[in-house]
Each structure stands twice: as structure tokens, then as C-alpha cells.
């Protein structure tokens, strides 16, 4: 499982917060600002979020799921299509499989519940800004257990990707990424250096045209690389 760990020392990501509750937006802004993260805009619904991304060009969007006019899932699809360099981090109070799956299929790079700690929230924003993906361990397990091969949702086009282009080692790495392992955990399990793991991951993304680890998770269980009930 990817762990955001300590907040990395690099250029601060620029963030837009999209949530229909003013108190939630204010709380997130205070948390992120106090940790040196620049909140450049806010949105009260999905349509505003899409417009804000187009105008402000943020690095990360904190996106609520249930919002008026346009929900967070539809807004995520628009953001990913129009601004592929922008990462979407879904925040919701609803720990439901259909939201998790739909968010990942829409192109979100992470998914956290709103009871996340302030430190973890800030670290998660920095993590997805680097191009990595974040999934809570419990959510990763539920994804693996919920979707058996053949039970495909909106991202079933992933099944048509030819996994034979991967080397045996790359297939091992992809399978473990699908279980939620971080690069450090992959390196330890496969007895490789983290640099070597990063190289394998980059090759996998390039060969399979994957945006990030979140898409790797979707691909892994949709192609049957991970069996339902298998432990991460």
C-alpha cells in the first residue's frame, strides 16, 4: 500500500478545493495552508470545479463526490480530459465501492475519506502531485475483493490492453501494484532496489498507456491479475 509518509520537500502544489459545504472548504484550506500548500481557489459544485481548473491551472483538486449541478465523479472526468496534468484527489464521507470504482475509472489519482487526519491529508496532496496514486488500504482491499474477472464497469476497455508486452518481472510488479504496494514495499518483496522498481513502473505505464498507479489498480483486477479475496 502506498503510504504518503512524511511530506516531501519540493515545490508546493497549487490546489483547488471543490465541496458544497463552506465549513469543509474552510477547514481544508486552513489545514493545507498551515502546511505550506497553496490553495488557489474554491468551488461549490462540479461545474465550478471544472471552470476553476481551466482558469487557475492547479496541480491538484480536492474533489467531493456529492455536489449539486455536477457531481464530483462527472467533474473528475472533465478535469482529466481537459487538464491531464492536474491530479484529482477524491474526498468523501461515503466509503462505498461504487464511488471508489467510479472515481478511479473517471481518472482520479486518489481516494480518501473525510475523517483523514490533517497531516495525512497534506501528505496525500503532495503525493498525488508527484504523479503517484493514493488509496486507503481498506479501500484497496475492498476493490480487490469486490470485482471478480468478468464483472467489468466503465473502465472495462482496460481488458483490451495486451499484457504480453510486459516482461515477467514487469507483470510481477504490476500485480503487486494492483494490491496497493508502494515502491519501497515492492523493492523489499522482490529484492530489488527502489530505483529498479521505479524503472519497471515507468516501463509498465509507458507500455500499457497508464496515467498512474490508480489506473494500474483498475487494470490489475479487471484483467484478473488479482483474484477476489486475495490479500494485498
Successive 10-residue mean pLDDT values, the chain, 232 residues: 42 92 94 94 96 95 92 92 90 71 78 84 85 61 54 44 86 85 86 91 88 77 67 48
Residue range 14-56, pLDDT digits in tens: 999 999 999 999 999 999 999 999 999 999 999 999 999 999 9
Give the span between the Cα atoms of 232 and 228, in whole angstroms.
Answer: 11
> What pLDDT score was predicted for residue 9?
40
**pTM tops 0.85:** no
DSSP 8-state class, residue 150: T
> What pLDDT score was predicted for residue 130?
75
Name the residue with cell 472548504: 25
Q: Computed from CA positions of residues 120, 123, 129, 133, in that sequence, does the dihedral angle turn out positive or negative?
A: negative
> What pLDDT score was predicted for residue 20?
94
**What is the set of domains in the chain, with CATH numbers?**
14-135 (3.40.50.2300), 151-222 (1.10.10.10)
Residue range 69-88, pLDDT digits in tens: 999 999 999 998 899 889 99
Give the span between the Cα atoms of 49 and 92, in whole angstroms.
Answer: 16
Query: Is the CB of residue 135 less than 8 Å from the CB of residue 214?
Result: yes
- Using left for φ > 0, alpha for ψ between -120 and 50, and beta otherwise, residue 129 falls in alpha
> What pLDDT score was predicted for residue 151?
44
- CA-based nearest residue to 108, from 218, 229, 225, 226: 218
Amino acid at each position: 500500500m502506498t503510504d504518503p509518509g512524511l511530506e516531501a520537500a519540493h515545490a508546493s502544489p497549487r490546489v483547488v478545493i471543490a465541496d458544497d459545504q463552506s465549513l469543509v472548504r474552510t477547514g481544508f484550506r486552513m489545514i493545507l495552508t498551515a502546511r505550506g500548500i497553496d490553495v488557489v481557489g474554491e468551488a461549490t459544485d462540479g461545474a465550478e470545479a471544472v471552470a476553476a481548473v481551466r482558469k487557475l491551472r492547479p496541480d491538484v483538486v480536492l474533489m467531493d463526490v456529492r455536489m449539486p449541478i455536477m457531481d464530483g465523479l462527472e467533474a473528475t472526468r472533465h478535469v482529466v480530459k481537459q487538464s491531464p496534468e492536474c491530479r484529482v484527489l477524491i474526498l468523501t464521507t461515503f466509503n462505498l465501492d461504487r464511488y471508489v470504482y467510479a472515481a478511479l475509472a473517471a481518472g482520479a489519482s486518489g481516494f480518501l475519506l473525510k475523517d483523514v487526519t490533517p497531516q495525512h491529508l497534506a501528505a496525500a496532496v503532495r503525493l498525488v502531485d508527484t504523479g503517484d496514486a493514493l488509496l486507503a488500504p481498506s479501500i484497496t482491499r475492498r476493490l480487490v475483493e469486490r470485482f471478480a474477472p468478468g464483472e467489468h464497469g466503465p473502465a472495462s476497455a482496460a481488458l483490451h490492453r495486451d499484457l504480453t508486452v510486459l516482461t515477467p518481472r514487469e507483470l510481477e510488479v504490476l500485480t503487486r501494484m494492483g494490491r496497493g504496494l508502494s515502491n519501497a514495499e515492492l523493492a523489499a518483496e522482490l529484492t530489488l532496489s527502489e530505483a529498479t522498481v521505479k524503472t519497471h513502473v515507468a516501463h509498465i505505464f509507458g507500455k500499457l498507456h497508464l496515467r498512474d498507479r490508480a489506473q494500474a489498480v483498475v487494470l490489475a483486477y479487471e484483467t484478473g491479475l488479482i483474484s477476489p479475496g486475495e490479500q494485498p
